[in-house]
Structure 1
Amino acid sequence: MLETLLPILIFAALGLAVIGAWRRIRLWRQGRPSVVPLFKGLAALPRRYLVDLHHVVGRDKVISNTHVATAGGFVAAAVLMILVHGLDLAQGILGWLLLAASACMFVGSLFVARRRRHPPARLSRGPWMRLPKSLMAFSLGVFLITLPTVGLLPSDAGHWLLALLLAAVVAWGLAEMVVGMTWGGPMKHAFAGALHLAFHRRAERFGEGNRSTGLKALDLENEAAPLGVEKPADFTWNQLLGFDACVQCGRCEAVCPAFAAGQPLNPKKLIQDMVVGLAGGSDAAYAGSPYPGKPVGEHHGSPHGPIVGRGGKALVDADTLWSCTTCRACVEECPMMIEHVDAIVDMRRFLTLERGETPNKAPEVLDNLIATDNPGGFAPGSRMNWAADLNLPLMSDLQQVDVLLWLGDGAFDMRNQRTLRALVKVLRAAEVDFAVLGHEERDSGDVARRLGDEATFQSLAKRNIATLDKYRFQQIVTCDPHSFHVLGNEYGELGGVYDVRHHSTYIAELHDAGRLAFSPWKGGSVTYHDPCYLGRYNGEYEAPRRVLEALGIELNEMQRSGFRSRCCGGGGGAPITDIPGERRIPDMRMDDVKESGAALVAVGCPQCTAMLEGVVDATAEVRDIAELVADALVVRPAAQAASLSRQPQLEEVS
């Protein structure tokens, strides 16, 4: 009986899966076109899955091993099942391999069941709670029906009722594992996830050491191109595919600073809302953690309906999008390589450019950038006031130098001016041939772009590029990771390609070259806060620590450091949009500092400095790495005198 039923069940399941795949692909293709190399992407899929994806999954060894046993066992068992029971190719070793694969899958499913007995809060429940039973049904059913095939049981063993029972168990497993893979359900991520890895919109992310974190530019010259994303169908088709690949593991939720602070953002819920919009319907069936303070079941949408409604509930409320600090913690932790931040900024662009709806101080900041080229609205001619006594050399006078020092808009902030002065002292001590743009420098455009004002960003960027193209220099050095990121990773698409260094990296290089000497550290215990735009965006974790080590500092690392560093709350325009939550993100970060026992927290970002120093009753002092280095310098008098002999005093511009 089983010899008759099994081929029918197998090929019926495969047929339904093909139909489901076609329906699913049609849903994704509602999105805008995106050119991807079809065969190149498919050829790269095995490495992207086995190496890149498992590099993230492997951070949790138990889950990684569970996934290898369960997923690997399933893929092998499914293929072998078609050969052995579907095509009756049971001769030789195939039957034994099928037994081994199904047994491996069953062992993995036991670990899945154990995890689901008391699942952590970040895991979605609902249909996911039946997944262990489905995994066990498929693996155990395949194992039992294969025993007679390899001669471990007689082929006529058992009653016909037992045969029907086994067929029912196998049918249950096939329905969940094969049919459910394309029709929806817990296994949906396996089909969508594989194609997402093959047709990822950031193919350059894959490969050892590769990164791709710069936002993609809008085509502002094309009047037919949408200004951001208004509705789900405005995303590119492979973005929609990426949303559908979400496994609802909640890793993004666990590291999101806005979610932890009680602001109305949960990146997992946001991605699931996009899936709801993709297919149409409401979020009532969502079985994970909601947005803090927002009940589940009140939002609905469709592929061609607005994502953010006016005067009523749509897919997402605007304050959810404005809560994001763009720290990329969610992207860094996502095993399916989903790009949450890209999606959020795309939706912000529509709200800003088409609707003119930015919250709190954002309109004022954007107006300031347009009128004065800086977010604070300061007179452009006052950019160099802080350096009136430093006799800084100007690019307009020298035309060619080794290093262009990019000041950033910290030049208008009294606190960050101390960092800039310290950095100038360090450069002079190392006899670096450097200059500044002075009044020719404009805001890099980072905050405008993160607030969705792509037009203002491109205007600032193109004018900065035109200025930079007038001069010759080998490197740009800046103490602002946001400027560092934008200049190095986002100006290139607009024609400005530069070698950009964060000041911690450059100081480390100067020390390694023997151009800096330090007196021994005599202060207290120190910890280091990794800026998001230096670490997760650009992969620089070691250089700041090398500098601190060179100073003789032994770090007390925070529990959340390196690629898992907690955001300070200062990125993505978050201090400007100022969406309220249950507590402040910088307060949580200073709690991390307190737990480390450090008396001082070293930073490498003016926004991190401002956010952390704004914490009331902080237990640790906040100092930039440049300040620590400047204090420890052993300066050679001859070098100092030579550096002061450079170009004439900066003229005041009214």
Structure 2
Amino acid sequence: MLETLLPILIFAALGVAVVGAWRRVRLWRQGRPSAVPLLKGLAALPRRYLVDLHHVVGRDKVISNTHVATAGGFVAAAVLMILVHGLDLGASEGWGGVLGWLLLAASACMFMGSLFVARRRRHPPARLSKGPWMRLPKSLMAFSLGVFLVTLPTVGILPAGFGSWVLALALAAVVGWGLAEMVVGMTWGGPMKHAFAGALHLAFHRRAERFGEGNRSTGLKALDLENEAASLGVETPADFTWNQLLGFDACVQCGRCEAVCPAFAAGQPLNPKKLIQDMVVGLAGGSDAGYAGSPYPGKPVGEHHGSPHGPIVGRGGKALVDAETLWSCTTCRACVEECPMMIEHVDAIVDMRRFLTLERGETPNKAPEVLDNLIATDNPGGFAPGARMHWAADLNLPLMADLQQVDVLLWLGDGAFDMRNQRTLRALVKVLRAAKVDFAVLGNEERDSGDVARRLGDEATFQSLARRNIATLAKYHFQHILTCDPHSFHVLGNEYGELGGDYRVYHHSTYIAELHDAGRLTFAPWKGGSVTYHDPCYLGRYNGEYEAPRRVLEALGITLNEMQRSGFRSRCCGGGGGAPITDIPGERRIPDMRMNDVKESGAGLVAVGCPQCTAMLEGVVDASAEVRDIAELVADALVAAPSEETAARHRPRAVEVA
């Protein structure tokens, strides 16, 4: 009986799965074209899955081991099941017998993994989606246990014709249940959909340069503004590229993005997991009534609906997403950093913002004023362009226009107009002069880097600012650019290249660390109290620089009291992505939460390396800790400069932005 039923079940399930795969691919292909090397991507899939994906999954050892046992056992059991039971290669003698024993081992491994999945689902954390996902442990057990039992006669442990017809039918039903979920569900929908979509997403990822040890790709992709036929941003789900839609469909609804999102924690109407699931709803058409995870704070589930060619953000009535959901994002990339499926949430959000800004002219609160200021005055505050150097009237800073060639071009950033950040700039100038660095500034020739315009979706203003800055920089000769602003650091190093501006860029913490290592700076011992360090998102998650600031603080004699959320899991200050400008209300403020992290660390001072972080954290009422930039701490600790001979022997090596 089983010998007759099993091949029928196996090949019927495979046939239905193939039909589902064809249907699913048609859904993805509704998106815009995207040039992807198909064969190269498929060849890279094993390494991306086994190394890059598991690098993220492996941060939780229990879940990592569970995934290896369950997923690895399933893949092996599925292949061996086709060979042993589908093609009848499981004879107890010779290689067939070996295949049968391997199938027993694979299904047993999968069953052990499914026990851990079941344990986790008994009392699941709030971030995990419920609904259909609650049946997954039972389906995993049904498949693995059923395959194990029907394989016992194959290897000779039980008689070939063991059991009655009733038992045979029961086992076939159990195997059929597992096949329906594990194989058919991968392409037709359900919890296992992520396995099929996720594998192809890794193969055809729109940021293939992300993969590989030490690699990262965080710069936004430029719009082709010269092509009148090109869409300006994303209006409908079908306006995403096909491999972006594929990426949305790969979401496993684990909620890791939700757990680290600062906007969600602040009670603003954003949940990155829900946003991705809304894009999946739009991909297939329908409403979000079937969503079984945490909603957007303050917004009930079931009121939003969409279709592949319908608007994502509606006017008047409910569409897929409300505009304030998109404007809540700080673009901190915490969600992207934590996503085991390598989904690019920030890319999607900025793509949708671009449509709202460029096509509809709909930006909230102070955003229109800031964008108008950038167009009129080249800075977001609307200050007179000729006032950029007023803060340094007594410093006699050298200008590139006078020198034409220097080792270091000091990029001031829009913080040159902010009195608080001017203290940081003055401290940095003091450090550079103490180390006898050959540097100059652009002065009034410098314009805003365009970071805030690009994050608010105004690609036209960004490209205008960038091209004018690139033209200015092309007139001069320098080895590298130095800045104390991680946002300018990121844009100049990672996003100007697509427009023709390729530069080696330093963040000031990295440069100071190199100067100290080269013996060009000497510090007096630290005599202050306890200190913690806040990792800026655009220095850490965007550019992978976590060690240099800590090396500088260590050189000062400071022993850090690290916050619980530090390094790649640092909590955003709330200052990125134009969030202070769009100012979407929530239940609490993001910088207040971050300063509470500082308080829990017990530190009386928080060291920072970003003017926006400084502004956000110093804006917290009744803060328990002082906020100071690394450059200020270094400037205060400087002792007598080294000799000219020592300084001449050392030059810090340039660090190229990844």
Q: Percent identity?
A: 92
Matched, 1:621 2:614: no
Provide structure 1 residue ranges, at least 5 long, that are not aligned to the other structure.
none
SS in 1 for 2:643: helix
Could you tell me whether the CA contact under 8 Å between 1:381 and 1:653 is conserved in 2? no
Could you tell me whether the CA contact under 8 Å between 1:407 and 1:478 is conserved in 2? yes
- Deviation (angstroms), 1:637: 9.1
**1:506–1:19 Cα change, 3 Å:** same
Moved over 2 A (4+): 635-646, 648-654
**1:154–1:447 Cα change, 3 Å:** same
Q: Distance in 2 between matches of 1:550 and 1:284?
A: 56
**Number of the residue aligned with 2:657:** 653
**Number of the residue aligned with 1:271:** 276
**Number of the residue aligned with 2:558:** 553
Matches within 5 A, 1:168-183: 168-183=173-188
SS in 2 for 1:246: coil
**Number of the residue aligned with 2:24:** 24
SS in 2 for 1:533: coil
Deviations 1:17-49 (A, max 9, x none): 000000000000000000000100000000000
SS in 2 for 1:547: helix
**1:622–1:17 Cα change, 3 Å:** same
Deviations 1:412-437 (A, max 9, x none): 00000000000000000000000000
- Deviation (angstroms), 1:635: 3.0
- Deviation (angstroms), 1:638: 7.7
Deviations 1:345-376 (A, max 9, x none): 00000000000000000000000000000000
**Number of the residue aligned with 1:418:** 423
Deviations 1:252-310 (A, max 9, x none): 00000000000000000000000000000000000000000000000000000000000
SS in 1 for 2:532: strand
**1:519–1:653 Cα change, 3 Å:** closer
Q: Distance in 1 between matches of 2:2 and 2:549?
A: 65
- Deviation (angstroms), 1:563: 0.1
Q: Distance in 1 between matches of 2:608 and 2:142?
A: 53
- Deviation (angstroms), 1:141: 0.1
**1:18–1:422 Cα change, 3 Å:** same
Q: Distance in 2 between matches of 1:127 and 1:47?
A: 30
Q: Distance in 1 between matches of 2:609 and 2:161?
A: 73
- Deviation (angstroms), 1:636: 3.0
Q: Distance in 2 between matches of 1:638 and 1:615?
A: 43
Could you tell me whether the CA contact under 8 Å between 1:309 and 1:317 is conserved in 2? yes
- Deviation (angstroms), 1:645: 21
Deviations 1:63-105 (A, max 9, x none): 000000000000000000000000000xx30000000000000
**1:643–1:363 Cα change, 3 Å:** farther
Q: Distance in 2 between matches of 1:542 and 1:147?
A: 55
**1:641–1:80 Cα change, 3 Å:** closer
- Deviation (angstroms), 1:487: 0.1
Q: Distance in 1 between matches of 2:389 and 2:112?
A: 67
Deviations 1:330-358 (A, max 9, x none): 00000000000000000000000000000
Could you tell me whether the CA contact under 8 Å between 1:232 and 1:303 is conserved in 2? yes
Could you tell me whether the CA contact under 8 Å between 1:429 and 1:639 is conserved in 2? no
SS in 1 for 2:73: helix
**1:106–1:635 Cα change, 3 Å:** same
SS in 2 for 1:473: strand
- Deviation (angstroms), 1:643: 14
- Deviation (angstroms), 1:641: 16
Q: Distance in 1 between matches of 2:167 and 2:5?
A: 13
Deviations 1:393-415 (A, max 9, x none): 00000000000000000000000
**1:642–1:337 Cα change, 3 Å:** closer
Q: Distance in 1 between matches of 2:100 and 2:445?
A: 74
Could you tell me whether the CA contact under 8 Å between 1:256 and 1:266 is conserved in 2? yes
Q: Distance in 1 between matches of 2:29 and 2:366?
A: 38
- Deviation (angstroms), 1:156: 1.1
SS in 2 for 1:93: helix
Provide structure 2 residue ranges, at least 5 long, that are not aligned to the other structure.
90-96
- Deviation (angstroms), 1:644: 21
Aligned partner of 2:502 among 497, 500, 504? 497
SS in 2 for 1:208: coil
**Number of the residue aligned with 1:80:** 80
Could you tell me whether the CA contact under 8 Å between 1:331 and 1:339 is conserved in 2? yes
SS in 1 for 2:49: helix
Q: Distance in 2 between matches of 1:21 and 1:634?
A: 68
**1:185–1:623 Cα change, 3 Å:** same
**Number of the residue aligned with 2:93:** none
Q: Distance in 2 between matches of 1:157 and 1:539?
A: 60
SS in 2 for 1:186: coil
Could you tell me whether the CA contact under 8 Å between 1:391 and 1:649 is conserved in 2? no
SS in 2 for 1:637: coil
Deviations 1:180-220 (A, max 9, x none): 00000000000000000000000000000000000000000
Q: Distance in 2 between matches of 1:253 and 1:337?
A: 14
SS in 1 for 2:408: strand
Deviations 1:575-604 (A, max 9, x none): 000000000000000000000000000000
**1:649–1:520 Cα change, 3 Å:** closer
